[in-house]
Homo-oligomer: A and B are copies of this chain.
Amino acid sequence: MRDEIRRRIPEATVARLPLYLRSLIEVAEAKVPTISSERLAELAGVNAAKVRKDLSYLGSYGTRGVGYEVEYLLYEISRELGLTQDWPVVIIGIGNLGHALANYRGFTARGFRVAALLDADPSKVGEPVAGLAVRPLDELPEVVAEHQVAIGIIATPAPAAQEVADRLVAAGVKSILNFAPAVLSVPDGVSLRKVDLSIELQILTFYQQRGDEAPEPAPVG
């Protein structure tokens, strides 16, 4: 935690750390003290060599002949992912999806806190959703400053998404998760990830039509 070198962690590994974390939380609840790469691999749905290689990028946290100490590894991965602190998020676009996201438990579960819900539609403003009143999109800068918002979630229709992204960036938000089916562009230094339902379905139909099996998803970014 103090004098460690800043290792470059492959993005494929970063994308799997949350999986390991979730698995470790489960076994920690069962009071299991240590876990082998083999068992962790099973829980996370990957193979053991990958687990060991991934964890080796974080440091040598295992014990040969024994395995990994669950609580310790749990903490180290949490820290690596930045989950030892709280992350205020804003959700923009309070339609069906925005509603669902606002009510999503397990949001709060893992250190994320919905600081505000915003919508450009005046008829939605003031509506209580998940215990918060929807605020006008124009208040974004104040909301971001006030709550130190670092992450913006876009749940608007596609045509509005780029403008919302621009406003988030202008307000100083450095991480954006986009649910709108649109390709967005953001300046350097801003991270952008997307979740797109219809793309996922289309990938499935590709393989279904082929009578093939879709390869193991490699969710990376």
A: which residues have CB within 8 A of B?
11, 14-15, 17-19, 21-23, 43-45, 80-83, 87, 89, 96-97, 99-101, 103-104, 106-107, 109-112, 150-151, 174-177, 181, 183-185, 188-209, 212-221
Nearest Cβ on chain B to A1's Cβ, whole angstroms: 14
Is B217 within 8 A of A101, CB to CB?
A: no
Given A18-B198, A19-B183, A107-B198, A217 and B193 touching (CB < 8 A)?
yes
Is A201 within 8 A of B15, CB to CB?
A: no
Is B199 within 8 A of A177, CB to CB?
A: no
**Closest residue on chain B to residue A79 by CB atoms:** B209
Is A219 within 8 A of B199, CB to CB?
A: yes
Contacts of A23 in B (CB 8 A): 183
Nearest Cβ on chain B to A114's Cβ, whole angstroms: 11
Contacts of A208 in B (CB 8 A): 82, 150-151, 174-175, 191
